[in-house]
Amino acid sequence: MKSESAPKVLISGAEIALVTKRLAAAITRDYRNKNPLLVGILKGSFVFLADLVRQLDFPLEIDFVRLASYGAGTTTSGEVKMKHDLQLNVKGRHVLVVEDIIDTGITVKFLMEYLKKQKPASLKLCALTDKPSRRRVKVKIDYRGIEVPDKFLVGYGIDCDEKHRNLPDICILDE
Ligand code: IMP
Ligand code: MG
């Protein structure tokens, strides 16, 4: 059980905005004329995706998936399940997956393999934060925001037991 001490700011909302701008510039260069399909992984990516797409001034579409990795607590069990599938067709589309944190990499690896089977024209990954110290499977992050330490993070969409998603900054939750 996590204590209720106040989360400490690790990355401020202002810093996140700068990083998002940099990622959006790179994405704009690569996707401007491709009508990409951005796929947000619920729930954690919803704030980042909302800010990111408002920096993208070209035609695009948005869809969501919800994945669950089994096991309680703050670490993944290794088994991933699709809880809510895409509504839009992936075949022939330029697909960009948008994620909040790449931790062990297991969740996003599952999704990339799942989507690849549906024959997109291209498939890439954008992640706001990357925790490479915890990686268990290899993941290629095409648009990588900020490297973060091996701490449990909350805020800016990211939760601990559904709490703290509404914080404007990315914070460290004390043990
Ligand atoms: P994975 O270990 O890379 O499969 O990460 C799976 C999911 O765990 C991510 O999409 C996040 O939603 C969540 N996650 C990973 N690290 C943290 C964290 O520090 N705080 C809250 N959620 C996390
Ligand atoms: Mg997530």
**All residues with CB under 5 Å from ion ligand 2:** 44
- The atom number, within ligand 1, closest to the CA of 151 reads 19
**Range with the poorest average pLDDT among 2-6, 33-37, 44-48:** 2-6
- Nearest CA among 20, 17, 65 for reference residue 38: 65
Alpha carbons 84 and 121: distance in angstroms, whole number? 23
pTM for this predicted structure: 0.94
pLDDT at 150 over 70: yes
Q: Answer whether 104 contacts ligand 1 (Cβ < 6 A).
A: yes
Mean pLDDT of 98-106: 97
**Domain covering 2-172, topology:** Rossmann fold (3.40.50)
The reported pLDDT for the residue numbered 174 is 82
Closest CA to ligand 1's atom 13: 101
- The atom number, within ligand 1, closest to the CA of 106 reads 4
Predicted confidence (pLDDT) per residue in 15-32, tens digit:
999 999 999 999 999 999
Instruction: Tell me, in angstroms, the distance from the centre of ligand 1 to residue 100's CA.
Output: 8
